């Protein structure tokens, strides 16, 4: 499916280039007249954004009582984005990299899973804080459409599911396991006519929720530690909005606050509600459509979208490739099952619960 999507994107790109040559010349002119100082400033903010991501994972690990150095997490999370985009992991590249690293260092797989789950939860909640005003602004400016609404409903539904899982896991492991045991067969049954297979392995789903339930129960002891991941999730969105603003300044068309929030909201929305990894090809198109609908000239809109994604995705992907070489993880090789879900050899040794992380 992913290969088909990539082929379609390539064909559409070729078609657009061949039929919109004059518009592309105008886009190149906008790039040529851009102020590189603002782009370099945006790259500087992007580095802070990457550190923020690592700090958020560090805070989530801390909730689990696991200590990991910030520098190491910067490298690991950079490697994870490379895996997510390049390898068909359907969004679990972050888990693969972090769990593999945890397996090497004797961290309980359940605590690593829970830390990733908490990061994802707060990332979605932080995004919801931005998405609501973005949708209101788009509606008020007459730029709302059915595609944006549908994608927004999907993202909100994912956020509700994540919150429900977290609350059930904190409240009762049995409640969460029972709910998943009921829901997973229904999901598989409803999608089997289309996929002709089970989307979710019921047994692995039960094992997974048991793993994260043990970690979520730890939140009862120290709920105050959740403030760190929450604050970092919100500040991370602010940093991305700052990058978008600096990119717009580079092309001599600074965006107003309302346009910034609306454009960022749509760009992030389609990075999570997309069939392509990190919304490759989809986010750029959605950004251009939004900016043009908000009265930004088409050549400038295209330049802003491409430069923004170049900094927030493709530049980070380059970092990730180097980080992956340092990390030594080979995506083509499967991760051991006990490193991902259920590792009794780790859990039987209580001394493995503290990570010294000397490297």
* Predicted pLDDT of residue 240: 96
In this structure, the number of other CB atoms found within 10 A of the CB of residue 55 comes to 20
Three-state DSSP class for residue 348: coil
* Predicted pLDDT of residue 21: 52
Q: Low-confidence residues of the chain, pLDDT below 70?
A: 1-24, 87-94, 194-195, 199, 327-359
Three-state DSSP class for residue 34: coil
Q: Residue 169, exposed/middle/buried by CB under 10 A (0-12, 13-18, 19+)?
A: buried
Q: CA 169, CA 110: separation in Å to the nearest integer?
A: 13
266 sits in the region (left: phi over 0; alpha: psi -120 to 50; else beta) called alpha
Q: CA 231, CA 238: separation in Å to the nearest integer?
A: 11
* Predicted pLDDT of residue 256: 93
In this structure, the number of other CB atoms found within 10 A of the CB of residue 113 comes to 23
CA distances from 294 to 20, 259, 271, 301, 326 (A): 21, 7, 20, 10, 43
- Cβ contacts of 45 within 8 Å, gap of 6 or more: 239, 242, 243, 246
pLDDT, tens digit, for every residue of 35-77? 999 999 999 999 999 999 999 999 999 888 888 899 999 998 8
> Measured between alpha carbons, how far apart are the two ends of the chain, in Å?
39
Q: CA 80, CA 320: separation in Å to the nearest integer?
A: 7
DSSP state of 252: T
Q: CA 294, CA 139: separation in Å to the nearest integer?
A: 11
Q: CA 191, CA 186: separation in Å to the nearest integer?
A: 9
Angle subtended at Cα 125 by Cα 227 and Cα 171, rounded to the nearest 5 degrees: 70
- Cβ contacts of 228 within 8 Å, gap of 6 or more: 56, 59, 62
Whether the predicted model's global pTM rises above the 0.85 cut:
no
- Cβ contacts of 320 within 8 Å, gap of 6 or more: 78, 79, 80, 81, 82, 83, 85
Q: What share of the chain is helix, strand, coil (3-state, %, to 5)?
A: 80, 0, 20
In this structure, the number of other CB atoms found within 10 A of the CB of residue 32 comes to 8
Q: CA 74, CA 78: separation in Å to the nearest integer?
A: 6
* Predicted pLDDT of residue 353: 35
* Predicted pLDDT of residue 8: 61
pLDDT, tens digit, for every residue of 164-220? 888 888 887 788 888 888 888 888 888 777 667 776 778 877 777 777 777 787 787
Three-state DSSP class for residue 66: coil
Q: How far is CA 24 from the centre of its chain?
A: 30
* Predicted pLDDT of residue 16: 54
**Element at 310 (helix H, strand E):** none
Three-state DSSP class for residue 108: coil
Angle subtended at Cα 332 by Cα 274 and Cα 355, rounded to the nearest 5 degrees: 90
């Amino acid at each position: 499916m992913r290969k088909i999507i990539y082929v379609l994107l390539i064909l559409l790109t070729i078609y657009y280039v061949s039929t919109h040559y004059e518009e592309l010349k105008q886009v190149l002119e906008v790039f040529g007249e851009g102020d590189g100082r603002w782009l370099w400033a945006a790259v500087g903010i992007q580095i802070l954004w990457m550190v923020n991501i690592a700090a958020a994972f560090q805070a989530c690990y801390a909730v689990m009582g696991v200590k990991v150095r910030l520098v190491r997490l910067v490298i690991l999370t950079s490697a994870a984005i490379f895996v997510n985009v390049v390898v068909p992991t359907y969004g679990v590249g972050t888990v693969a990299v972090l769990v593999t690293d945890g397996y090497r260092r004797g961290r309980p797989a359940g605590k690593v899973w829970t830390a990733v789950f908490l990061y994802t939860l707060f990332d979605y909640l932080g995004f919801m804080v931005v998405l609501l005003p973005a949708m209101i602004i788009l509606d008020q400016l007459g730029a709302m459409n059915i595609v944006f609404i549908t994608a927004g409903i999907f993202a909100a539904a994912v956020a509700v599911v994540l919150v429900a899982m977290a609350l059930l896991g904190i409240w009762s492991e049995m409640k969460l396991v029972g709910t998943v045991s009921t829901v997973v067969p229904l999901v598989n049954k409803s999608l089997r006519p289309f996929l002709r297979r089970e989307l979710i392995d019921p047994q692995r789903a039960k094992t997974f929720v048991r793993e994260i339930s043990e970690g979520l129960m730890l939140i009862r002891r120290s709920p105050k530690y959740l403030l760190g991941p929450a604050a970092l999730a919100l500040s991370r969105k602010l940093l991305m909005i700052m990058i978008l603003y600096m990119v717009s300044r580079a092309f001599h068309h600074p965006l107003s606050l309302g346009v910034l929030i609306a454009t960022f909201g749509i760009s992030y929305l389609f990075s999570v509600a997309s069939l392509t990894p990190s919304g490759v090809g989809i986010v750029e198109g959605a950004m251009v459509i939004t900016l043009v609908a908000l009265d930004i000239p088409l050549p400038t809109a295209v330049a802003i979208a491409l430069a923004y994604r170049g900094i927030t995705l493709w530049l980070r992907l380059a970092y990730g490739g180097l980080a992956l070489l340092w990390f030594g993880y080979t995506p083509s090789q499967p991760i051991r099952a006990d490193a991902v879900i259920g590792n009794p050899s780790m859990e039987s040794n209580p001394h493995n619960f503290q990570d010294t992380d000397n490297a």
